[in-house]
């Protein structure tokens, strides 16, 4: 979405050009630059990036076994538990999972980190869509305000013409009253547009993490470009790039690994231990001539309660995997429908905008010029002239709204695909 405001200049006025004749392009911010600022400053994006980095640092620890346990025993002390013991024992125990479980758990952690990365990318994607939408809405409201300002000027001139004609008894007082009513009504509408423009900039500043009334120098040179990529290619692109689809695919793989891990619960985990005993009293030793001995331990868990624990874990993991597969299929189908709908909306809005720009606006202008001549010649009344003027204004507004609908659909289409449109 890179474009110039030729469509606004064509329907509005040359006020912007006249007001900023020496403005350079690098002095104003376009949509791409605004997105870069928002991504850098927005707290939500920073939070999602920190969560992604945290998930990355949760991978390696899965390879490490449980911490070993070291024990010291002061045994059979006749006086107190800290001195004069009959036996001193030193032991070390280390627990291990069945071989292969740690690798599978690390794979799950790695996929979780990839899911966190996709969530971060989706946050950036959604923020980009919000910034671009706010930017285009600001540009639209600026253009509407300029068109309204031009209409206000024309209505003021029309009221003067009606006032002069009424003073010369060429028209009735109704013409003058109607002109004054239209002018006042447009002033109220212009005040609402002024408030809307300020709110648009406040909303854009909020996305940029700035003060609501912080000044914004925006590049209003937009140029909508028709969508030429076939919708089938866009659906395929969304299937490959949309973050939610990729996330569900990774979740499905994680659930498949979880099923394998649930089945491995039937396999025994084990503990290895070593013990060294030192006897301070010869009669307490196994052999009177050997006051020291060594022992080794090996133990395994026995899943005798598999019917209520491991079997239920496997059943639950199977259902989780089934749910993940269905969820993936559902999101793919939903994405295809969303892309198709937004594509059609964008194409329709673009065609409407081109017809309004090339046909309806010129016809409305011509109709107003003819009506103005006819009114001056006394062939039509002021109400008909006002209707012609309002029709010309409505044609310009409809054109701007169609362009806005096209840009909004294009932004939503990029959001649904998960990446900018191919150009």
CB 45 within 8 A of CB 261: no
Of 220, 224, 229, 231, which is closest to residue 353 (Cα–Cα)? 224
The predicted structure's pLDDT at residue 4: 31
Percentage of residues in the chain with pLDDT exceeding 90?
43
Q: Taking residues 207-212, report their average pLDDT.
A: 89
The predicted structure's pLDDT at residue 10: 33
pLDDT in tens, 21-45: 333 335 688 888 899 999 999 899 9
Of 266, 188, 224, 249, which is closest to residue 411 (Cα–Cα)? 224
Percentage of residues in the chain with pLDDT exceeding 70?
93
Does the predicted model carry a pTM greater than 0.85?
no
Tokens of 108: 């799950």
∠ CA 328-330-333, nearest 5°, is 110
Tokens of 128: 């980009």
CB 87 within 8 A of CB 284: yes
Of 167, 183, 166, 184, which is closest to residue 175 (Cα–Cα)? 166
305 burial via Cβ count (<10 Å: 0-12, 13-18, 19+): exposed
The predicted structure's pLDDT at residue 331: 93
pLDDT band at residue 162, thresholds of 50, 70 and 90?
confident
CB 104 within 8 A of CB 254: no
Identify the bridge partners of residue 274 per DSSP, sorted by sequence position: 92, 296
- Helix (H/G/I), strand (E/B), else coil: 95: strand
The better pLDDT of the pair 11, 228 is held by 228
The predicted structure's pLDDT at residue 171: 67
Whether the per-residue pLDDT at 18 is higher than 70: the answer is no
CB 113 within 8 A of CB 56: yes
Q: What is the number of residues in the chain? A: 423
Domain containing 412 equals 6-66+110-267+306-417
Residue 287 inside a domain? The answer is: no
pLDDT in tens, 316-353: 999 999 999 999 999 999 999 999 999 999 999 999 99
Q: Which residues contact 96 (CB under 8 A, 6 or more apart)?
A: 65, 66, 269, 270, 271, 272
Tokens of 42: 């927005």
The predicted structure's pLDDT at residue 25: 39
Per-residue CA distances from 369 to 248, 373, 375, 376, 388 (Å)? 60, 6, 10, 11, 9
Task: Please provide the average confidence, as pLDDT, over all residues in the chain.
Answer: 85
- Helix (H/G/I), strand (E/B), else coil: 82: coil
Q: Taking residues 291-319, report their average pLDDT.
A: 88
pLDDT band at residue 152, thresholds of 50, 70 and 90?
confident
C-alpha 91/C-alpha 294 separation (Å) is: 10
CA 326 to chain centre: 24
pLDDT band at residue 7, thresholds of 50, 70 and 90?
very low
CATH number of 406's domain? 1.20.1600.10
The better pLDDT of the pair 278, 6 is held by 278
Identify the bridge partners of residue 29 per DSSP, sorted by sequence position: 218
Whether the per-residue pLDDT at 359 is higher than 50: the answer is yes
Q: How many domains does the chain have?
A: 1
Residue 278 inside a domain? The answer is: no
């Amino acid at each position: 979405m890179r474009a110039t405001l030729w469509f606004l200049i064509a329907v509005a006025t040359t006020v912007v050009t006249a007001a900023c004749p020496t403005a350079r392009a690098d002095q104003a911010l376009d949509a791409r630059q605004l997105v870069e600022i928002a991504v850098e400053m927005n707290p939500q994006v920073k939070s999602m990036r920190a969560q992604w980095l945290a998930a990355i640092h949760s991978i390696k620890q899965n390879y490490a076994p449980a911490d070993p346990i070291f024990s010291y025993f002061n045994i059979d002390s006749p006086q107190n538990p800290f001195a004069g013991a009959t036996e001193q024992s030193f032991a070390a125990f280390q627990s291990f999972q069945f071989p292969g479980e740690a690798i599978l758990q690390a794979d799950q952690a790695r996929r979780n980190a990839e899911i966190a990365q996709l969530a971060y990318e989706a946050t950036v994607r959604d923020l980009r869509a919000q910034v671009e939408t706010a930017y285009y809405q600001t540009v639209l409201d600026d253009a509407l305000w300029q068109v309204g300002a031009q209409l206000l000027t024309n209505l003021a001139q029309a009221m003067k013409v009606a006032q002069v004609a009424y003073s010369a008894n060429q028209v009735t007082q109704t013409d003058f009253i109607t002109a004054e009513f239209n002018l006042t009504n447009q002033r109220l509408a212009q005040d609402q547009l002024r408030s809307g423009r300020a709110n648009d900039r406040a909303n854009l500043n909020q996305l940029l993490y700035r003060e609501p009334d912080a000044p914004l120098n925006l590049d209003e040179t937009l140029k909508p470009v028709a969508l030429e990529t076939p919708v089938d290619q866009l659906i395929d692109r969304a299937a490959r790039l949309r973050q939610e689809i990729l996330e569900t695919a990774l979740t499905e793989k994680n659930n498949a690994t979880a099923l394998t891990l649930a089945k491995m619960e039937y396999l025994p985990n084990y503990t290895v231990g070593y013990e060294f005993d030192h006897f301070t009293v010869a009669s307490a030793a196994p052999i009177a001539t050997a006051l020291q001995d060594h022992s080794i331990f090996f133990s395994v868990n026995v899943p005798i309660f598999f019917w209520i624990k491991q079997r239920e874990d496997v059943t639950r993991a199977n259902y989780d995997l089934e749910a993940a597969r269905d969820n993936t299929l559902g999101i793919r189908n939903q994405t295809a429908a969303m892309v198709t709908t937004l594509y059609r909306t964008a194409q329709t809005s673009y065609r409407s905008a081109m017809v309004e720009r090339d046909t309806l606006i010129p016809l409305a202008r011509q109709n107003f010029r003819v009506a103005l001549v006819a009114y001056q010649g006394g062939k039509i009344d002021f109400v008909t002239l006002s209707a012609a003027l309002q029709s010309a204004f409505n044609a310009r507004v409809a054109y701007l709204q169609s362009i806005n609908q096209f840009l909004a659909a294009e932004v939503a289409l990029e959001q649904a695909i998960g990446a900018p449109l191919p150009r």
